[in-house]
């Protein structure tokens, strides 16, 4: 496994939990996306500005393996590392509960890039210096 290149800490909010009192499975995708956007900001890349320039970075596939549940009030970290694979940039993201360092989620998020509506060969990822 590679070393993590970015980490963000968040806290579970009450409304993110379902009737079983655990974070709803769909909410984890929000955590993952927020971490990716914050990673871009840390590299001085504005998702909004890219979009305005006709550069669309889009998720093409997500795999999530749920390991342990987060519950209301849990503080957790999302850690990531990336790897270029052909036309895709793959984000490997792990979520850890901080109170016991339990791995809660392992995710693989594949992203592609379109420029002016056309799929690229991924060269835009190099120009962004990810």
Rounded CA separation 115/25 (Å): 32
In whole angstroms, how far apart are CA 78 and each of 28, 48, 65, 117? 10, 22, 14, 31
Any catalytic annotation for residue 65?
no
* Residue in 18, 74, 94, 116 annotated catalytic: 18
DSSP letter at 39 equals H
- Active-site residue numbers? 18
């Amino acid at each position: 496994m590679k070393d993590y290149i970015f980490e963000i800490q968040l806290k579970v909010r009450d409304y993110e939990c379902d009737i079983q009192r655990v974070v709803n499975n769909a909410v984890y995708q929000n955590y993952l996306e927020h971490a990716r956007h914050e990673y871009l900001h840390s590299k001085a890349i504005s998702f909004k500005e890219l979009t305005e320039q006709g550069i669309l970075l889009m998720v093409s596939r997500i795999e999530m393996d749920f390991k342990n549940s987060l519950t209301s009030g849990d503080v957790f970290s999302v850690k990531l590392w990336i790897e270029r694979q052909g036309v895709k940039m793959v984000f490997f993201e792990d979520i850890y509960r901080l109170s016991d360092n339990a791995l809660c989620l392992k995710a693989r998020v594949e992203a592609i890039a379109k420029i002016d509506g056309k799929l690229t060969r991924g060269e835009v990822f190099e120009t962004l210096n990810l």
